[in-house]
Every structure is written in C-alpha cells, then in structure tokens.
Structure 1
Amino acid sequence: MKTISIIGLGWLGEPLGIHLQDKGFKVLGSTTSEEKRKRLFLKGLEVIRFSLNPHPEGLGFHALFQPEILVVNIPPRTRSGNGEFHLEQLKYLRSLIDSSPIEKVIFVSSTGIYPETPSKEKYAEDYLLTHENAGNEILLRAELLMGKDQNYDLTIVRFGGLMGKDRIPGKYFSGKENVAGHTRVNFIHQNDAVGILAWVIEKGLWIQTFNGVAPIHPFRREIYEKNSAELGIAPPASYQNELDGIDRLIDSRKILETGYEFEFPDPLGFSYLSTSN
C-alpha cells in the first residue's frame, strides 16, 4: 500500500485525502487546527498538526515527509499581503523536502499565473512566463522556487476558479450592481480538481505542468442566472453594458490528451450543495 502525504487538508485537500484513501492509498495529511485534526481522524484520515509560520511548527510533523509522494496544497493569501510570507513558507518547506526521502511532489498552483491580458489563443502550459508578464508574480516565484535544483520529480497543476459544493459563483454577485457578465469563465469543479490530482498520481504523470480547467467556458451571466434559477439566489441587480469579445481563456487540452475525462466539463452543469440564500 503506497502512502501519500498531503500538506493542507483544506477545501481541496480533505476530499482528495478521502478519495485517495478510497482508492486504496494510505493517506497522511496536515492541518493547522486541533479541532479539525480530530474531525478528520473520525473520517479515517491520519492527520498531524503542522504549520508554516513561516518556520515549521507542530509535533511529529517529520512523519509527513517520509512517504514517496507529497502533495503541496497551501495557496498564497496574496489578498491579505504581498505574498512574501508564502514564499518564506515554501523555503522552509523545501528544506524539509530536500532532507527527506520524498521522490515525487505535486505542487498545486493557479491559472492566475497567466497574463491578465485577453488573447485570441488560449493560455497553455508552454506559454513563456516571465516576471514582467505573469498575472501574479508570487505564483511564478513559488513555482520557480519549488522547481529550482530539486532532487524530486515535480508536477505542477494550475487550477482555475475552484467551484462546487459550497462555492457557488452566483452567490458572490447576488444583488450586486454593474456586474461583469460578458466574459467567459475558467472554472473547475471540486470533483475534477480532486480527480486530476489523483489521475496524476495513478498514471505517473511526473515532471509535467497541467492546467486544471473545465474545457467549456460559458459566460459569467449564464452561470449567475442558472445559479439563481436553480438555487434560489437573487441574480445580479445589473450587468456592465459591455459587448462580448476576446477573453482570457485557459487551455485544458494537455490533461485531456492524457485520457482524463471530466466529470463536469461544463460549468453550467456544476453541482452544488443546496442553499437557502
């Protein structure tokens, strides 16, 4: 039985851990909360309290760095700072990985790394990113840090907007004025985000970079109106008076070419938890 360690059993990491466990893997994961550690333990997950503040804190956390495969799922909180703290976290994490027997690492990144500029061509994994053109330089620096002089096989997965379960796009714009509804989305359902990470592990897709985005890109207004009709959410009060045009779209062909099949290829068909909002 192969053991997989997951740093960050959050909104994505927790269902990933349960999914891999159901697939027959032994899963070891981390959380920063004792309350959550106990809750996840009841779900059968072996969980260790571990924090990067930015230096490592916790009890017995070195066990997280013993398996062959490690999934790093600690997204930067760039909205609450300049992201330098996140890079410091990753530096300490790298030192732990470099002194461990870990052979393979999946690093969860974001399509926010691509330029913010709309383009006739979809942004693909081989797009040449620089510090000048990156949509989020912290994301680029994080990927470069994880890939610099590493002695492990690194696969990077860049996810689009993570939706599904309790993350409902229409909820965030309910009743708001002047909402941008004319651009198309780069969303991915939680089930497919979990599915792609598990697919990389099961198929041995190492030393690669993949975009994790649903292959169909509906307009934002279509999604907001569908959420409103199906989930009882008030739609946006008004939309921006803009014509549909060229969008900033992310290409998902590479992961499709490996044989992965999306459970939710179209964000208009995403499933959500019921809501009374």
Structure 2
Amino acid sequence: MKKKQISILGCGWLGLPLAKNFITQKYVVKGATTSVEKVETLQKAGIQPFVFKLGTTDDPKVYADFLANSDVIVINFPPKRVSNVVETYQKQIREILPFINETQKVIFVSSTSVYQNTNDWVTETLENQPEKESGKAVLAVENILKTHLQDRLTILRFAGLYGYDRVPGRFFANKTDIPNGKAPINMIHQDDCIGLINAIIEKNVWGEIINGCSDAHPLREVFYVLAAKKQGLVPPEFKDSDFVSFKKIANTKSKELLGYTYTYPDPMVFVC
C-alpha cells in the first residue's frame, strides 16, 4: 500500500511543527526551506529537506522533485516585506504552479488580512477589500490559486498567530500611544492551526475558504497589557480615544464544516 505523502512549502514557525505532526501520522513528508542551515533540523525530524527560494532558483527541477508523488501540498509562506509585495508574491506562486499536477490537492495558508475592517463580524462570504499591501498580496495569490486549482484547493485564512515561542506579551511591550485599544482582537494558537489543517485533510474538504480564529475576542488593550505583565515586561500604553476600527473573525464555518473544536478557544487563558 502506497504511503501517504505531503509536501510543505515553508517550514518555519508553523510549517516545521506541522511537518512533525504528519511524521507522527506516518506520512512521508517533504519540507521546503530557504535556509541551508535548516537542513539538518529537518533531517533529524524525519523530513526530506529541499532548499530553494521562489523567484531566484535557477534550476526549476527542484520544484518538480519537491512536489512529485505528494497527495497534498501545503503552501505556507507569507509575502515578503518589500515595496512591490503584491507583484513579488504573485511571481513566487506562479513559478511553482506548473509543477502541481491535476490530481494533487492544495491547502493555501492565507490570512484574515484579506478582510477590511467592518466594525462587525466577518465571514468567508464578505467581498474582500484589503486595507494593507500584504493583504492585497495574499488575496491576489488566493485568486491565482483558485483559477488554477479550482475545487482541488482549500484556502485557510488564519487570524493573528501565537503560541510557544511566539509570545503575545512581546508584541507591544514598552510601546506608548497605541491606537485602537478598545478593538476586539482576532487570534489563533499554533495547535489549532495544525488541527484545522489536519481536519481538512482527514475529512477531504476541498474547494472551500475557511477562517481559523479563536472563539473569544478580548479587547486589544486588556489582552496586551496583561500579556506584557505576565512576561515581566513593561506593559503598553494605549490612546484614550473613542474611535475604534475593527473586524471580528467568525469561525463558525470551521467548526460546522470540519466538526472542529478549538483547543484554545480563548487566548485570555495565556495572559490571566
């Protein structure tokens, strides 16, 4: 019987523990990194390492080798922080698309930055109008992938990422005059990111757009002040303003379609 195989494009903060998760499930896992120094780490974890940088690779054969025979491909790398981020991110994705065959399924790890602030709940059906260039880049890549892959693609839009070495207390520590303190925040723990990806594959859910976000949405100033104090850091100071601009990411679809129960439904448990 053929072993299940997965290719994970991007083995960083989320991709590496995701790859290790699939190793425990007896998958053959191929992991792509841009760092030669990370090869040994991948090998020790039982991951087949591939080193390349999309947009700069001279020999595209490495893409074909990386994707060959995988049942599922997880595209998991954010747009670069460059001036022409929209064009750069699209170019990177277009470079690897020709090597994805007509039977392979793809999960694109996207972001809730594709949503504009509405001062209300936001679901997957909202017509997207990203406010930042990074959000515009992510939405542009979503559209490229949807056109190319159609019902073999599921887009997973994650809220703000935290967990383990990504400690929220450091995000705003020592800063002052921070706006929007009364806005609710949207966050998701690393374990739930992995859990949602697992659920998509296990339940064979394709052709969908799904939000990934905790149930609870604590106020920005409450959460980050407590988070900094818990780490022994100088807590941030927020502007005293009545103006609030926000969005609340609804996770109902992830729970109903995938039957998923969040391991960490309330990020406040990590700061109280």
TM over 0.5: yes
- Segments of structure 2 that go 5 or more residues without pairing to the other structure are none
Which letter maps to 1:52? L
Check conservation: 2:79, 2:85, Cα contact below 8 A. Answer: no
Q: Do the aligned partners of 1:31 and 1:47 also contact (CA within 8 Å) in 2?
A: yes
Q: CA deviation at 1:270?
A: 3.8
TM-score (norm 1): 0.87
Q: Which amino acid aligns with 2:268?
A: L
Match of 2:105 in 1: 104
RMSD: 2.1
Would the aligned equivalents of 1:158 and 1:212 in 2 still touch at CA under 8 Å? Answer: yes
Distance 2:83 2:162 in 1: 21
- Cα deviations by residue, 1:24-55 (Å, 9 ceiling, x for unpaired): 22211111111101121112211111221255
Aligned with 2:97 (options 73, 94, 97) = 94
Name stretches of at least 5 consecutive residues in structure 1 with no aligned partner. 272-277
Change (3 A) 1:114 1:193: same
Offset of residue 58 of structure 1: 7.0
Any conservation in 1 of the 2:169–2:231 contact (CA below 8 Å)?
Answer: no
Aligned residue number for residue 187 of structure 1: 187
In 2: Cα distance, 1:193 partner to 1:179 partner: 28
Aligned counterpart for 1:65 among listed residues 50, 55, 67: 67
Give the superposition deviation at 1:127.
1.3
* Number of residues of Structure 1 aligned to a counterpart in Structure 2: 263
| Secondary structure at the counterpart of residue 169 of structure 2 | helix
Matched, 1:8 2:4: no
Decide whether the 8 Å contact of 1:65 with 1:102 is kept in 2: no
What is the correspondence of 1:1-277 to structure 2 with a 5 Å cutoff? 1-55=3-57, 57=59, 60-66=62-68, 67-78=70-81, 81-97=84-100, 100=101, 102-115=103-116, 117-120=117-120, 122-129=121-128, 133-135=129-131, 136-150=135-149, 153-180=152-179, 181-236=181-236, 238-243=237-242, 247-257=246-256, 258-270=258-270
CA contact (8 A) 2:227 2:270 kept: no
Question: Which of 55-64 and 162-171 deviates more?
Answer: 55-64
Letter in 2 for 1:268: M
CA distance, structure 2, for counterparts of residue 102 and residue 56 of structure 1: 27
The one-letter amino acid paired with 2:52 is: F
Greater shift, 135-144 or 66-75, is seen at 135-144
TM-score (norm 2): 0.89
Q: Is the 8 A contact 1:189 1:270 kept in 2?
A: no
